[in-house]
Chains A and B, each alone.
Chain A
Amino acid sequence: DTGVSQNPRHKITKRGQNVTFRCDPISEHNRLYWYRQTLGQGPEFLTYFQNEAQLEKSRLLSDRFSAERPKGSFSTLEIQRTEQGDSAMYLCASSPSRFAGGYGYTFGSGTRLTVV
Chain B
Amino acid sequence: TQLLEQSPQFLSIQEGENLTVYCNSSSVFSSLQWYRQEPGEGPVLLVTVVTGGEVKKLKRLTFQFGDARKDSSLHITAAQPGDTGLYLCAGPHEKRSQGNLIFGKGTKLSVKP
Contact = CB atoms under 8 A, between A and B. Distances in A.
Interface string B23-41: 0000000110101000011
Given A55-B99, A107-B42, A101 B104 contact: no
Contacts of B99: 31, 33, 48, 50, 55-56, 100-101
A45 B101 contact: yes
Contacts of B33: 103-104
A52 B110 CA distance: 41
Counting chain A residues whose Cβ lies within 8 A of the other chain, the interface size class is: 20 to 34
Counting chain B residues whose Cβ lies within 8 A of the other chain, the interface size class is: 20 to 34
A41 interface: yes
Contact of A41 (B30, B93, B105): B105
A44 B103 contact: yes
A58 B100 contact: yes
A85 interface: no
B40 A112 contact: yes
B35 to A, nearest CB: 8
24 contacts: A4-B42, A6-B42, A42-B88, A42-B103, A42-B104, A42-B106, A43-B43, A43-B88, A45-B101, A45-B102, A48-B99, A55-B99, A56-B98, A101-B30, A101-B92, A102-B48, A104-B33, A104-B45, A104-B48, A105-B101, A107-B42, A107-B44, A108-B42, A109-B41
